[in-house]
Amino acid sequence: MTISAMTPTAALWGKRDDMIVRAHLPYNAEPPPAVLADGGITPIDAFYARNHGRFPDTAPQHWRLAVNGRVKRPLTLTYDQLTTEFDQHEVVATLACAGNRRAELLRVRPIPGKEAWAHGAISTAQWRGVRLADVLAAAGAHHDDGLHVAFEGSDIAEEATPAQPYGGSIPLTKAMSQEVLLAWQMNSEPLPRVHGGPVRVVVPGYIGARSVKWISAITVQAGPSENYFQSRDYRILPADADPDAVAAGEGISLSSLALNCDILDPTDDDRVPPGRLTIRGYGIAGDGRGVERVDVSLDDGLTWRQAHLHPAPSKWSWRPWSLVVDVAPGPLRITARAWDEAGAAQPESAASLWNPRGYGNNAWARVALNVQ
Q: What is the pLDDT of residue 3?
A: 35
Q: Which residue type does 104 have?
A: E
Q: How far is CA 117 from CA 33, 51, 100, 288, in A?
A: 11, 13, 5, 24
pTM equals: 0.95
Give the pLDDT confidence score for residue 8 in this predicted structure.
61
Q: What is the pLDDT of residues 314-368, one digit of tens each?
A: 999 999 999 999 999 999 999 999 999 999 999 999 999 999 999 999 999 999 9
pLDDT tens digits along 10-20? 778 999 999 99
Helix (H) or strand (E) holding 76: strand 75-78
Radius of gyration for the alpha carbons in the chain, expressed in angstroms and rounded? 21
- pLDDT value at position 286? 80
pLDDT at 1: 32
Could you list the mean pLDDT of each consecutive 10-residue stretch along the chain, which spans 372 residues?
48 93 95 96 98 96 98 98 98 98 98 96 98 98 96 96 96 98 98 98 98 98 97 97 94 97 97 98 92 98 98 97 98 98 96 98 98 96
CA dist., res. 277 & res. 333, Å (int): 13
Beta carbons of 152 and 228 less than 8 angstroms apart: no
Quick one: pLDDT at residue 9? 73
Distance between CA 22 and CA 39 in Å, rounded?
A: 23
pLDDT confidence of residue 12: 85
Beta bridge partners of 321: 281, 309
